[in-house]
Structure formats: C-alpha cells, structure tokens
Amino acid sequence: MAKLNLLQAINQALITAMTTNEKVVVFGEDVGHFGGVFRATSHLQEKFGKARCFNTPLTEQGIIGFANGLAAQGSVPVAEIQFGDYIFPAFDQIVNETAKFRYRSGGQFSCGTLTIRTPYGGGIAGGHYHSQSPEAFFSHIPGLKVVVPRDPYQAKGLLLGAIRDANPVLFLEPKRLYRASVCEVPEEDYAIPLGKAEVIQQGTDITLLAWGAQVEIVQRAADMALEDGVSCEVIDLRSILPWDAQCVADSVMKTGRLLINHEAPITSGFGSEIAARIQEQCFLYLEAPVTRVCGLDTPYPLAHEKEYMPDEFKTYEALKRLLNY
C-alpha cells in the first residue's frame, strides 16, 4: 500500500470519482491547468479534459451558483473554494439554494450531487483570512451535510463518500495536514459512509472528541494523560452534520466525562451543540460537566497564533480538571 499525504489522497479520490462516473466535473479558481493552489487537482485536466476540470472566474458566489445549477441538471459537481475563509460570498447560494432545492420543490429538484471542497483551519501563519474554521456556520443549515477528514486514508474514503452521497456536502479539508499528514492509503476505490463517528482509541476514564486537524491534538493530550495512568477514549466525529450522537453518547455513558476540542471560537461553536445534546442524553452518567477546549472568541490572530490555538497542553489541563472535578 502506498503512503500518501492528504493532498495526494484527495487527488486520488478525485481521479477515482471521475473515472468511475463520467458525470463528475471538478472546477474552481486555479484548479485547471495549474492543479489548484495546493495542487489537490493536479493533472485532472490532463487526464479528463478541459470540459470536466476547469478554472472558473474569481467569484465564489458564481462558483457555487453554477454548481447548484449543474447539480440540479444531474451532473456531479465537485466545486473548490480556494480557502474556507473565502466561502462567504457563496453563503447565500449554499444556505438558500444548495440546501433548500430539494425541500422547496417537494423533492422534484435537488443539489444532492454537489460536493464543495474547501481547505480550512489554522496553524500555517495565515492570519485571520487563511485560518478560520467555519464549520459551525454550516452546521446550522438543514439540508446540507458537513464532513471533515483527519488523515489521508479518511480523506480519500470520506471524499468518495461525499461525492456519491445523495445530498449536498461541504467537505472541509484541514490544510495544515495537507502535506504534514501521511499514511497508507489503498489504491482501490472505497467510500466511508457519512454521518458516522469513529472511536480511534478505546478508554475508560474520559472521552476526548475532535475532528479534522484537532484529532491529533487530543491524541497527544491522551498520550500525556496516559503517563498519569488516565485512560482516554478518543473519537473522531468525522461528520459535523448530521453528527453521530449515538457514538458519542455510548462513549460518554462508559467514561462519564466528555471533553470537546475545536479550533473555531468557543461561542456557538459546534461543541455547544454536542454539549447540549450529550447532557440531555447522558445526564445521569456524567461525572463532570461537558467541557470545551476551543479557539478564543476573537478573530484568528497572526502574531498570537500559538497562544490562540486549543493545543494539547490546554487540552491536557482541562482533562485533569475534569478528572478531579
């Protein structure tokens, strides 16, 4: 099995998707000949032609509006927004159009074939316009699915799952892992179903929950805790919407403690939704309040990036407070 980084895994997933379904069309700013600013779409135009992989003008609302129409027609668009921070001109198209096509037409029309790929997250000295984690905005849109992979294996399987899912999917790619995360990725075609979390480490004392690039952060905190004799269960949520509440609840009923980590600002982050749901479902099992270790309620800073991040040390300290509650 070949070792791939996250970008190569995404590239491979796109090749698989385009090879197995001639309706798949890939486009966005600079994705054509150049292969995207991160090179996730490298060589797709060479392989599949300019009609199926192409540059668009520089207009995010145009890209998603076009993608909505293309999806409604029955093609399978995979649209790239160059940075998650630049998705907001397309917010209207996503909120009012992508997500509501099916509902408003009584199921006659839909954008179900659409996948929107976009890099998100910090840790790359990108300041507030190349670092944001916008998943919570999109978790509030009935009709849309939101998916975040943590490594190359997951990225390939989840992206194929997203492209083949019968609902529009926002696929958020943790850009600081693009080249940093490397693992074995099977060459064959495989899709990971959406909406399912994964328990990636079994434990008994506390559940640590994260997604995307923060999964490795909570894993590091779990390693630190292990030296104190603490057994952590680590869950990768993988899908933000719909999310696998049962998987998280099962774990919390076992460990009695839940710590959620996300990079986005804490207030109205997706951790809030998880905390509310879990306290309802697991109230009598909880040994301590559900706790969040998240970004600050500030725009994403540059000089203070390291201080802003919900890193393993902040996670470890919060974890200790939960155990001693």
Which residues are bridge partners to 234 per DSSP? Answer: 201, 208
Least distance CB 6 / other proteins (angstroms): 18
Question: CA nearest 287: which of 203, 209, 206, 199?
Answer: 206
Concerning whether 33 is annotated as a catalytic residue, the answer is no
Interface stretch with other proteins, choices 2-10, 73-81, 108-116, 126-134 (CB under 8 A): 126-134
Interface stretch with other proteins, choices 70-78, 255-263, 282-290, 309-317 (CB under 8 A): 309-317
Contacting residue, 102, 130, 238, 292, with other proteins by CB under 8 A: 130
Concerning whether 307 is annotated as a catalytic residue, the answer is no
Interface stretch with other proteins, choices 140-148, 199-207, 214-222, 310-318 (CB under 8 A): 310-318
Interface stretch with other proteins, choices 26-34, 99-107, 111-119, 225-233 (CB under 8 A): 26-34
Which residues are bridge partners to 325 per DSSP? Answer: none
What is the rounded CA–CA span in Å between residue 141 and residue 146? 10
With the C-alpha atoms ordered 226, 232, 234, 240, is the resulting torsion angle positive or negative?
Answer: negative
Q: What are φ and ψ of residue 321, in 5° steps?
A: -65, -40
Q: Quick one: 83 or 153, whose CB is closer to other proteins?
A: 83
- Residues within window 253-282 making contact with other proteins, judged by CB under 8 A: 266-267
Which residues are bridge partners to 145 per DSSP? Answer: 169
Q: What are φ and ψ of residue 185, in 5° steps?
A: -130, 120
DSSP letters of 266-312?
STT-HHHHHHHHHHHHHGGG-SS--EEEEE-SSPPPSTTHHHHS--H
The answer to whether residue 58 forms part of the interface with other proteins (CB under 8 A) is: yes
Q: Quick one: 103 or 129, whose CB is closer to other proteins?
A: 129
3 state SS of 3: strand
3 state SS of 81: coil
# binding residues, other proteins (CB under 8 A): 42
3 state SS of 64: helix
The residue from 29, 97, 130, 135 that is catalytic is 130
Q: Give me the residue label for tokens 């179903």.
A: 193
The answer to whether residue 29 forms part of the interface with other proteins (CB under 8 A) is: yes
The answer to whether residue 51 forms part of the interface with other proteins (CB under 8 A) is: no
The answer to whether residue 311 forms part of the interface with other proteins (CB under 8 A) is: yes
The residue from 60, 216, 263, 273 that is catalytic is 60
Least distance CB 306 / other proteins (angstroms): 6
With b for 16 or more beta-carbon neighbours within 10 A and e for fewer, the 126-140 pattern comes to bbeebbbbbbbbbbe
The answer to whether residue 34 forms part of the interface with other proteins (CB under 8 A) is: yes
Helix (H) or strand (E) holding 120: strand 115-120
Q: Quick one: 161 or 310, whose CB is closer to other proteins?
A: 310
Question: CA nearest 15: which of 51, 39, 42?
Answer: 42
- Residues within window 85-114 making contact with other proteins, judged by CB under 8 A: 85-86, 88-89
Least distance CB 122 / other proteins (angstroms): 12
Amino acid at 310: P
- Residues within window 172-211 making contact with other proteins, judged by CB under 8 A: none
- Residues at the contact surface with other proteins, assessed by CB under 8 A: 29-30, 32-35, 37, 54-55, 57-62, 85-86, 88-89, 125-130, 266-267, 296-299, 301-304, 306-308, 311, 313-314, 317
Point out the residues that are catalytic. 60, 130
